Amino acid sequence: MLRSPLAAVALTFCGSALAQGPIPTSIVNGSITIELAPIATGLVAPNLLISPADGTDRQFIIDQPGKIFVRDNGVVQATPFLDASSRLTPLSAGYDERGLLGFAFDPGFSNPLSPGFRRVFTYTNEPIASGTPDFTDPYLSGPANSHAVVASWKVDPSDPNHVDPLSRQEILRFEHPQANHNGGAINFGPDGLLYIGEGDGGGANDAPPGHNPIIGNGQDNSILLGKILRIDPNGNNSANGKYGIPASNPFAGGGGAKEIFASGFRNPYRMSFDGSQLLVADVGQNNIEELDSVELGRNYGWRYKEGTFKFNLDGSVSSDLTGVPAGLTDPIFQYDHDEGTSIIGGFVYHGALLPDLAGKYIFGDFSTGFSAPSGRLFYADLGTAEIRELMIGANDRPLGLFVKGMGLDQDGEIYVLTGTTLGPSGTTGAAYKIIPEPSACLLVMAGAMLLTRRQRK
- Which tens digits make up the pLDDT trace of 273-303? 999 999 999 999 999 999 999 999 999 999 9
Does 13 score more than 80 pLDDT?
Answer: no
Distance CA 202, CA 266 (A): 8
5-456: CATH number: 2.120.10.30
Q: What is the pLDDT of residues 331-376, one digit of tens each?
A: 999 999 999 999 999 999 999 999 999 999 999 999 999 989 999 9
Structural domain boundaries in the chain: 5-456
pLDDT over 80 (residue 12): no
> What's the one-letter identity of residue 327?
G
Q: Please, are residues 379 and 366 in contact by the beta-carbon 8 Å criterion? A: no
Question: In this model, does residue 105 exceed pLDDT 60?
Answer: yes
Query: What is residue 232's DSSP assignment?
Result: B
pLDDT tens, 391-450? 999 999 999 999 999 999 999 999 999 999 999 999 999 999 999 998 755 444 444 443
Contact criterion met (CB below 8 Å) for 314 and 306:
no
Bridge partners for 149 per DSSP: 124, 173
pLDDT tens readout for residues 241-272: 999 999 999 999 999 999 999 999 999 999 99
Q: What is the pLDDT of residues 28-56, one digit of tens each?
A: 999 999 999 999 999 999 999 999 999 99
pLDDT on residue 440:
56
* Segment (H or E) for 12: helix 5-14
Q: Which residues of 332-362 are buried (b: 16+ CB within 10 A; e: fewer)?
A: bbbbbbbbbbbbbbbbbbbbebbeebeebbb
Report the C-alpha gap between 388 and 426 in whole angstroms: 32
**What per-residue confidence (pLDDT) applies to 20?**
74
Dist CA 160 CA 60 (whole Å)? 12
Supply the pTM of this predicted model.
0.93
Largest Cα separation within the chain, whole Å, is: 83
Q: Residue 38, Cβ neighbours under 10 Å: how many?
A: 10
Residue 325 pLDDT > 70: yes
381 pLDDT more than 90: yes
- What average pLDDT does the segment 61-76 reach? 98
Q: Is the pLDDT of residue 454 over 60?
A: no
Mean pLDDT of 63-76: 98
Q: How far is CA 456 from the centre of its chain?
A: 51
The whole-number pLDDT of residue 17 equals: 38
Q: Does pLDDT of 324 surpass 70?
A: yes
| pLDDT average, residue stretch 78-101 | 98
**Which pLDDT score, from 0 to 100, does residue 21 have?**
87
Residue among 89, 91, 80 nearest 43 (CA): 80
pLDDT at 9 over 70: no
